[in-house]
Amino acid sequence: MKIEDALKLRKSVRAFLNKDVEPEKIKAILSAARHAPSGANMQPWQVAVVDGETKVGLQKEIEECFRNGKRGHADFQYYPKTWTPPYKQRRVNCGRQMYNALGIQRHDKQKRLDQWAKNYRAFDAPVMLLFFMDGTMQTGSFLDCGMFLQSIMLTALDYGLSTCPQASLSDYPEIIKRTLGYPQDSTLVCGLALGYEDSGAVINNYRTPREDIEVFTRFFS
């Protein structure tokens, strides 16, 4: 697959088949992605591959906290505290597309809550990847992890697998670190759902738009 094609084909999948992912595929994907660049070749990423009973127990505890109104506290601020144009409208449009595809009305708070809760189950994908860094790492290492994540997502396509990167899976770092045995002073960057796409699911059949290059690019000669 051409890299350009992979970039255009990749999408965030939020419904997966009840089909296990072969461990050798996961290892092959990570083996390819480890060649991603990083500042001073620090390779700051640490990956937890979570499935089976461990995933079920972990996601159950997190979802119970969420449904009981116990908000988690991520290790860092992902989104801006104050939303401004054009980012605010892009965010609104993104959410509107998803809920419209699902037929969930704005006033239906229970269905919206149920849909959000699926985040904490990695959308019922068979595999949840969680990404950590040592607590000593700084802002530049987040860029490194981003390149590593993109490498995983693109390589997954070659193996017939789909993904969804999830900031929401970093909402409850204390629970995740305690369950998996990572130091509490480490940084939980994000999670990634991994599995075989349910292509018949409505939620997987819409695409968010991208801006034309003229919107974000200036050329200087």
Instruction: Give me the mean pLDDT over the 211-218 stretch.
Output: 98
Cα separation, 195 vs 161, in Å, equals 6
Q: Which CATH class name applies to 3-216?
A: alpha beta
How does pLDDT run across 184-201, given as a tens digit for each residue? 999 999 999 999 999 999
Extents of the domains making up the chain: 3-216
Q: What pLDDT does 77 receive? A: 96
pLDDT for residue 119: 97
pLDDT level of residue 182 (50, 70, 90 thresholds): very high
Specify the pTM. 0.96
What value does the mean pLDDT take over residues 34-51? 98
